[in-house]
Amino acid sequence: GQQVMQIPQYQHVQEGEDFTTYCNSSTTLSNIQWYKQRPGGHPVFLIQLVKSGEVKKQKRLTFQFGEAKKNSSLHITATQTTDVGTYFCAGQEGYGGSQGNLIFGKGTKLSVKP
Amino acid sequence: NAGVTQTPKFQVLKTGQSMTLQCAQDMNHEYMSWYRQDPGMGLRLIHYSVGAGITDQGEVPNGYNVSRSTTEDFPLRLLSAAPSQTSVYFCASRVNGGALSSPLHFGNGTRLTVT
């Protein structure tokens, strides 16, 4: 079945440093979504990428979807303590039925030292 | 709108006990799902439903039952709790239909401990 691998599992950075998490799928994805989960909280939707090679920005966050639609990345520029949390990618393989379900990566837990 | 509401927030069970985790949403979402979150394992899909009267299994369905009698509610039943079911459970819903999955809206979670 479809697998979504995410690395690294943990990342510790000094405030102001950049951070990147990578997501790779074993199959071509129809779209990929990114979620953030604050400590003790629930996952919250950040963004959805659909097109091959797509790049989207949200302030200091840059999201990319690979040309082959099998990989994606989230890059945070100049991290702040408010960025602390676990970032998940979630891929959808197909359209409808069980293939309409999102398969989550295991997440990257980001800690930021002030 | 309250969004997705899960109850209880915390629960402790003894091995062999049964219980139901409640999930309700007021967004008229057709799609509802249950995930469990374990350290280092991410979010794994237990069961999902694309509409009232329709349910299906996800990645880790064993030991759990679901039903969807209304659009709003999607309870998750543990038939005979086992320590391996100690986890944080999230209910999530979204609009169904269309080719692409719309964003999931998560509840606040239920932290379950089975002793």
Distance CA B7, CA A25 (A): 34
Round to whole Å and give the CA distance between A68 and A113.
Answer: 35
Whether residue B105 lies within 8 A of chain A, CB to CB, comes out as: yes
Closest CA to B63 of B81, B43, B89, B37: B81
pLDDT in tens, A1-14: 678 999 999 999 99
Question: Nearest by CB to B41, which of A44, A45, A106?
Answer: A106
pLDDT digits (tens, 9 = 90+) for B31-84: 999 999 998 888 999 999 999 999 999 999 999 999 999 999 999 999 999 999
Nearest alpha carbon to residue B21 among B35, B32, B6 = B6
Which residues of chain B have a CB within 8 Å of the CB of A41?
108
